[in-house]
Amino acid sequence: MALFIFICFFLVSASLPLPYSGAAVETNDFQPEVYNPKLPPRALTSSKKFEGSSDLVRLRYHMGPVLSSPINIYIIWYGKWAQPQKLLIKDFLLSISASHRAAASPSVAEWWRTVSLYTDQTGANVSRSVLIAGEYADQRYSHGAQLTRLSIQQVIASAVRAAPFPVDHKNGIYLILTSEDVAVQDFCRAVCGFHYFTFPSMVGYTLPYAWVGNSGKQCPDVCAYPFAVPAYMTGGGPSALSPPNRDVGVDGMISVIGHELAELSSNPLVNAWYAGEDPTAPTEIGDLCEGLYGTGGGGGYIGQVMRDREGRTFNLNGRRKRKFLVQWIWSPALKACAGPNALD
């Protein structure tokens, strides 16, 4: 449900984001190198293809709906956002259902295919069509610069009542993105993002939503790893990787957004796909693969990813030649974590 922080792996320390310099664009025909920061010994993984696989994982379907119709995303930009940051996030979202001509392989659209393998009781799959159906900018911090989980629902209610958004309880995802100066309950301490559904008493309707915060100034070493690393890892451990779009906070958000959208699409009302017996604390398809980005990942290693000529690290290609680093997702077919950049 939430992108939880494993304290043994992520500790809070001060780190500043790199300046944003616009879109990451490849020139000529340069082939990015495959890069594996600190690949673990082979003894830690019996098969390169099945990182995170386990017979002990009991991911089950609980008879609830998945988002099988074309998915409409309604973005709430809470706080102050620079236009290049908005464009970067929207390019990621629009890359999910982009055609094969829009992005080279491995692509964001190929990554979403794993999510689309999940079905409801009628056999309908999670939709591969994802659209940005609306945007709403709350630049005045209408509910303050410190939000709770309940006040996030009030932010949604304000957007719905102001009428920029329709009530789209069947196909809609309401995505609240808070700027780097907004504090959110449990942010940086226990979560980097979460998803749930609104309460009719708060909003008037039951609407699936997700929240993700920009950790650039608050806790990049916690929520934007591996673009920033905890202080305890700087004395001989792996160094921070260069973000693909030169924005530690927003590049870090991209993977969290992908994590939450995958889970929200396959478990929108917390009664569809998850492991465990407690629906208030489910282990979902993103949770099972948290921290895995490529072949050979596991045991604290992100796995093999790619690096361009400027040293920027990524594992997926998007529209307009964008590049992203996004965690893998649990595949119901492989019963393992999977991504299109797998090397075998």
Average model confidence (pLDDT) across the chain: 86
- Please write the tens of the pLDDT for every residue from 248-287: 999 999 999 999 999 999 999 999 999 988 888 899 999 9
Question: Burial, 335: exposed, middle or buried (Cβ in 10 Å; 0-12, 13-18, 19+)?
Answer: middle
Please give the residue that has the higher pLDDT: either 100 or 208. 208
15 pLDDT more than 50: no
pLDDT tens figures, 130-168: 999 999 999 999 999 999 999 999 999 999 888 778 899
Residue spans per domain, the chain: 48-336
What is the rounded average pLDDT of the residues 15-35? 46
**pLDDT one-digit tens code per residue, 276-322:** 888 888 999 999 999 999 999 887 789 999 999 999 999 999 999 99
pLDDT, tens digit (0-9, with 9 covering 90-100), for 60-88: 999 999 999 999 999 999 999 999 999 99
